[in-house]
Amino acid sequence: MYQGGYMGKVLRINLTDQTSKEEGLPLAVAKDFIGGAGFGIKYLFDEVKGGIDPLGPENKLIFASGPLSGTNVPCSSRMAVTAKSPLTGAVGMALSGGYFPTELKFAGYDAMIVEGKAKNPTYVWIKNGEVKFRSAKKVWGMKTTDTQQIIKNELNDQNIRMVCIGPAGENQIKIASIINEWRAVGRKGLGAVMGSKNLKAIAVRGTEKIAVADKDKLKAARGEFTKAMKESHVLYPAFSKMGTPMLVDHTCAMGIFPTKNFSATGEYDPSDKIGTEVQGTRNVGKEHCYGCPVGCSQLKLAKTGPYAGILTEGPEFETMFAYGGVTGVENIDAIIAADRLADELGLDTISSGVTIAFAMELYEKGVLSKEDTGGLELNFGNDKAMVAIVQQMAYREGIGDLLADGTKAAAEKIGKDSENYAMHVKGLELPAYDVRGAKAHGLNYATSFTGADHCRGYAFQEIFGIPFPQEVDRLAVEGKGKLTKWNQDVRTACADAPTMCSFILDMAVPHMATQNTAALLEAVTGLEFTPEEIQEAGERINNLARAFNAREGFTRADDTLPERLLTEPLKGGASKGHFISKDELNQMLDEYYAERGWDVTTGAPTREKLTELGLEYVADQLS
């Protein structure tokens, strides 16, 4: 049924009765959904009914790498993890790189569907197609690095690759992450889903080779791709050396690096405290994902005070924002320490940082008292309090109990007008980029099927000035609906599904994204793909995800932004005076829905659009 060894097998793991089985992947799925996020969303929509409890046994957790993972195509060792998000109630899909995605392929699987709930703490051990369920009693409660080491020791194999959760996932805090080595499937609380299933880890070891349909074609396509990588003015010259944190300076200069819970963006600029120059004093080396010649991952070592000697891979730009700018913390070593701690405890740096910043603002406003904080002086900039609360969140202790499930839940508990300071969309905390100065980026936050997510339809045109598919004015509103659709569809089709690193997409191949993806996929899979089909697959996946959310009750009303961004102009910096008014947002939304062919009132995909994309059966479920 399959050509070129593409889409070998899906492994279905049932934790309730501790069984597993292999399934073939229908060719139509392989062709229409490509892999990664495509597979995850397809299986999620088809197999998880509307309205289920995301932390109940009915939820499913789908791990899927892409058709390119494990081949010699660089930057393809990525995977999507998909479930219904306990944080948002919407599609929860997040990606991670590292070595696990290819190891899963080498073990024989394109995807893994984890179902049910184990009676006791369990980990799954997969070796070249052999699946074992093992007690995780020994490692339950352990941090993620220790968990991985102790399981390697227990299985007597130091070459195992693993995904696991830390105490945050075990305690089902809704901003818990999944960790593989030091990389995170960070957002949307997927770690809590693992925890709810009593699943501590999945350990994988594989030695199978990945078949390639047409080696000559692949050589040619790969050649084009790596040539574009080398020609990028950013990728090797800057990004390889500094990684994502180089964006601190860049976004500060643009006046869109969010600070102090978005209350002081532009006005307060911490780039001299946590920007490139200071980062450089902590850089000690780098790490690579499997098969990546770039190695954007920067190792940083804290140097001072109680943080001295703490190493982290990162902190990525988003964490510089989450534990830096948005909390007002200026101590680079505290940011490094908090980043490592969050990875060890298994919680999302973005959501935890933004939630702490939210609490800081409420503390400064007198809404939260020193009694509420357990004696912590929770002003902006208090690094020790921040690090303490990261720990407390994972255990729901002290004020961590109030904050553990993110800003939306905390605001509901606190009441009063606290929701006005809760920086989230659909329950997902805002990432970096103050979108008052980058409006397509803002429209993406408002409309992304995962909530406020910089990883879905990243508006690199606005952030980097890259003129593909066209030049844009970041402060303009017109055309942003169309652009956001393009960004979301292309990102899904060319990065999240195949699965390719999105940084490469943005920095090296924005001008040839769909062509490049089509060529690589054809060579590896033997299936035929046109660039148009690739882009349509992206649209299909976005529509299916949107349909999932519609089935869960999400409407146009949920496609919004926090009140602050809609009403408060930026007070300083290069984007001073700008904001996204409610009218502007509505204007962008109208255009966006029109471009998408969605109902402009409900924001739901229309039967026509779904049918056009081959998703008639989906339309039936929405009516």
3-state secondary structure of 187: coil
- DSSP class per residue in 548-572: HHHHTT--GGGS---HHHHH----S
Contact window for a copy of itself (CB under 8 A) among 143-151, 264-272, 327-335, 413-421: 143-151
3-state secondary structure of 577: coil
404 counts as binding a copy of itself under rule CB under 8 A? no
Q: How far is the CB of 135 from a copy of itself (least distance, A)?
A: 10
- Does position 305 bind a copy of itself by CB under 8 A? yes
Task: State the nearest-atom distance from the C-beta of 458 to a copy of itself, in Å.
Answer: 29
Query: Closest approach of Cβ 280 to a copy of itself, in Å?
Result: 15
Closest CA to 155 of 181, 127, 183: 127
Residue 345 contacts a copy of itself per CB under 8 A: yes
What is residue 587's three-state secondary structure? helix
Q: Indicate the residue among 5 and 141 with the shorter CB distance to a copy of itself.
A: 141
Q: Is the dihedral of CA 105, 108, 109, 113 positive or negative?
A: negative
- 159 binds a copy of itself per the rule CB under 8 A: yes
**Residue 170 or 536 having the CB closest to a copy of itself:** 170
* Adjacent-strand bridge partners of 179: 164, 184
Contact between 211 and a copy of itself per CB under 8 A? no
Considering only 120, 158, 601, 623, the residue that binds a copy of itself (CB under 8 A) is 158
Tell which positions 269-288 bind a copy of itself, by CB under 8 A: 284-285, 287
Near a copy of itself by CB under 8 A: residue from 31, 127, 138, 607: 138
In the bound state with a copy of itself, the residue whose beta carbon lies nearer, of 93 and 376, is 376
Residue 207 burial class via C-beta count within 10 angstroms: exposed 0-12, middle 13-18, buried 19 and up: exposed
Least distance to a copy of itself, CB of residue 119, Å: 19
Measured from the CB atom, the residue of 306 and 465 that comes closer to a copy of itself is: 306
- When binding is defined by CB under 8 A, the residue of 52, 234, 311, 512 that contacts a copy of itself is 311
Please spell the DSSP secondary structure of 240-270, one letter per residue: HHH-GGGHHHHHHHHT-S--TTTTSBTTB--
d(CA 504, CA 523): 19
Look at the block and give the residue holding tokens 């060529």: 519
CA dist 494 and 500 (Å) reads: 7
Report the residue number, 150 or 278, with the smaller CB distance to a copy of itself: 150
- The residue (of 141 and 531) whose beta carbon lies closer to a copy of itself is 141
Find, among 83, 84, 126, the residue nearest to 104 by Cα: 126
The answer to whether the beta carbons of residues 147 and 164 sit under 8 Å apart is yes
Interface with a copy of itself, residue 146, by CB under 8 A: yes
Q: How far apart are CA 200 and CA 344, in angstroms?
A: 13
Candidates 40, 98, 167, 481; binder of a copy of itself (CB under 8 A) is: 167
41 vs 541: CA distance, rounded Å: 7
Of residues 31 and 127, the one with the C-beta less far from a copy of itself = 127
- Stretch of residues binding a copy of itself (CB under 8 A), selected from 17-25, 28-36, 115-123, 389-397: 389-397
Give the C-alpha distances (Å, rounded to integers) separating 206 from 108, 161, 248: 7, 9, 39
314 binds a copy of itself (CB under 8 A): no
Q: How far is the CB of 533 from a copy of itself (least distance, A)?
A: 38
Give least dist CB 387 to a copy of itself, A.
9
Residue whose structure tokens are 């409309």: 447
Size of the site for a copy of itself (CB under 8 A): 36
268 interacts with a copy of itself by CB under 8 A = no
Compute the distance between CA of residue 399 and CA of residue 368 in angstroms, rounded to an integer.
Answer: 10
Our finding on whether 143 is near a copy of itself (CB under 8 A) is yes
Instruction: Indicate which single residue of 24, 51, 56, 309 sits in contact with a copy of itself (rule: CB under 8 A).
Output: 309
Measured from the CB atom, is 352 or 543 closer to a copy of itself? 352
Smallest CA-to-CA distance from 546 within 588, 603, 623, 464 is with: 603
Sequence length of the chain is 623
Binding to a copy of itself (CB under 8 A): which residues in 359-388? Answer: 388
d(CA 1, CA 369): 64
- Binding to a copy of itself by residue 394, rule CB under 8 A? yes
Please provide the DSSP assignment of 413-432 as one string: HH-TTGGGG--EETTEEP-S
Compute the least distance from the CB of residue 413 to a copy of itself, in Å.
23
For a copy of itself, give the closer residue by CB, 149 or 226.
149
Which is closer to a copy of itself, CB of 297 or CB of 575? 297
Q: Which of 31, 127, 303, 607 binds a copy of itself (CB under 8 A)?
A: 303
145 binding a copy of itself? (CB under 8 A):
yes
Are 63 and 81 in contact, with CB atoms under 8 Å apart? yes
Residues 479-538 binding a copy of itself (CB under 8 A) are none
Q: Which amino acid is at 183?
A: R
Closest listed residue to residue 588, CA positions, set 550, 549, 561, 553? 561
CB of 300 to a copy of itself, least distance (A): 11
| Secondary-structure percent of the chain, ordered helix, strand, coil, rounded to 5 | 45, 15, 40
Which one among 54, 108, 166, 258 touches a copy of itself, defined by CB under 8 A? Answer: 166
Distances in Å between the Cα of 529 and the Cα atoms of 34, 158, 515, 621 are 10, 39, 9, 29
**Residue 436, C-beta contacts closer than 8 angstroms, at least 6 positions apart:** 256, 265, 442, 565, 569, 570, 575, 578, 579, 580
Distance (Å, whole) CA 539 – CA 413: 37
CB nearer to a copy of itself: pick between 396 and 607: 396
Under the binding rule (CB under 8 A), the answer on residue 401 touching a copy of itself is: no
Among the listed residues 11, 104, 139, 274, the single contact to a copy of itself using CB under 8 A: 139
Q: Which stretch binds a copy of itself (CB under 8 A): 115-123, 151-159, 254-262, 489-497?
A: 151-159
Instruction: Name the minimum Å distance from CB 350 to a copy of itself.
Output: 21
The minimum distance between CB 138 and a copy of itself, in angstroms, equals 4
Which residue of 142, 356, 393, 438 would you call a contact of a copy of itself, by CB under 8 A? 142
Q: Is 372 exposed, middle or buried (0-12, 13-18, 19+ CB in 10 A)?
A: middle
Q: For residue 153, state whether it binds a copy of itself (rule: CB under 8 A).
A: yes
Instruction: Give the binding site for a copy of itself (CB under 8 A).
Output: 137-143, 145-146, 149-150, 152-153, 158-159, 166-167, 284-285, 287, 299, 301, 303, 305-306, 308-311, 344-345, 388, 391, 394-395, 397
